[in-house]
């Protein structure tokens, strides 16, 4: 159903936000950014990079804005959403390509709707885009603290966040993986976890994994097992927090997880 509104009405926007398109190998990305209404600290603003920007950016930005007010306000930070040229929250085909390692059909579970899995395996090209095109673009416009940068992803985006930490830990100092799809390609993320190492000169990385207690059993179990593996193998390299949010499902967990991530990032010394 479409509603007819008075032509004098204007679209609602969040103050301080801008958006533009960036191209990478003939793929368009919708970039959304919120800039704090304050002078950047001497060392530059911290920055959050959000996967699934279409779905996450507005909620995350308003949470950061709210937490930067009041008597116990937190330091403002730049928020960057990485999305797609669409008004839908999720672009299924694009996110399957951008957020995953390549998987053959026999390495995947049967699709719950009986369909073939979308084309996948473009995560390294996507991370090259962030590193070589997006991050320099942001830094050219705003004074960014290069030592306080966070990556936030949920579901397949959570898998991408974990993959980034395990294979390119130099890109960010803080990683937030919400309900990460650890099941992808027969739990291949455990392989990357086992191979993880920090090159000389890199400080300990911070990782926050959050999941809802009402998600599928295999998701909860898989993330608990991964967290145990991380603690056993990389306690000296990764400062891990794992939280199972009571009563939350795969989507509803986003709200409490976002709030906790913002607080945790601000309180973390990196």
Which of the residues 155, 179, 181, 227 is marked catalytic? Answer: 155
* 254 touches 56 (CB < 8 A): yes
155 is catalytic: yes
Looking only at the bridges linking them, the beta strands covering 238-245 and 205-212 are parallel
| Both tokens assigned to 129 | 């885009």
How far apart, in whole angstroms, are the C-alpha atoms of residue 43 and residue 48?
Answer: 16
Q: Of residues 62, 137, 216, 250, which has the active-site annotation? A: 250
DSSP string, 94-135: HHHHHS-----GGGSPPPTTSPPPPP---HHHHHHHIIIIIH
What stretch of H or E contains 195? helix 189-195
What are the residues facing 211 on neighbouring strands? 244
Question: Catalytic: 215?
Answer: yes
d(CA 78, CA 265): 13
Q: Per the residue annotation, which of 215, 227, 234, 248 is the catalytic one?
A: 215
The residues assigned a catalytic role are 155, 215, 250
């Amino acid at each position: 159903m479409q509603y007819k509104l008075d032509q004098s009405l204007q679209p609602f926007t969040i103050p301080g936000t801008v958006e533009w398109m960036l191209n990478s190998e003939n793929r368009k990305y919708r970039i959304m950014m919120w800039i704090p209404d304050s002078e950047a600290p001497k060392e530059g603003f911290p920055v959050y990079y959000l996967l699934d920007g279409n779905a996450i950016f507005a909620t995350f930005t308003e949470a950061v804005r709210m937490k930067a007010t009041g008597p116990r306000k937190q330091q403002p930070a730049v928020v960057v959403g990485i999305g797609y040229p669409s008004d839908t929250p999720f672009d299924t085909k694009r996110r399957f390509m951008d957020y995953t390692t390549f998987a053959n059909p026999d390495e995947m579970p049967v699709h719950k709707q009986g369909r073939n899995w979308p084309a996948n395996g473009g995560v390294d090209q996507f991370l090259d885009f962030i590193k070589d095109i997006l991050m320099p673009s942001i830094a050219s416009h705003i004074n960014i603290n290069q030592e306080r940068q966070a990556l936030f992803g949920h579901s397949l985006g959570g898998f991408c966040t974990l993959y980034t930490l395990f294979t390119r830990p130099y890109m960010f100092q803080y990683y937030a993986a919400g309900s990460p799809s650890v099941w992808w390609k027969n739990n291949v993320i455990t392989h990357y976890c086992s191979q993880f190492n920090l090159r000389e000169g890199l400080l300990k990385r911070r990782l926050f994994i959050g999941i809802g207690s009402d998600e599928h059993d295999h998701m909860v179990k898989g993330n608990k097992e991964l967290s145990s593996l991380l603690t056993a193998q990389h306690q000296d390299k990764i400062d891990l927090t794992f939280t199972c949010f009571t009563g939350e499902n795969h989507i509803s967990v986003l709200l409490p997880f976002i709030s906790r991530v913002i607080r945790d990032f601000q309180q973390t010394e990196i």
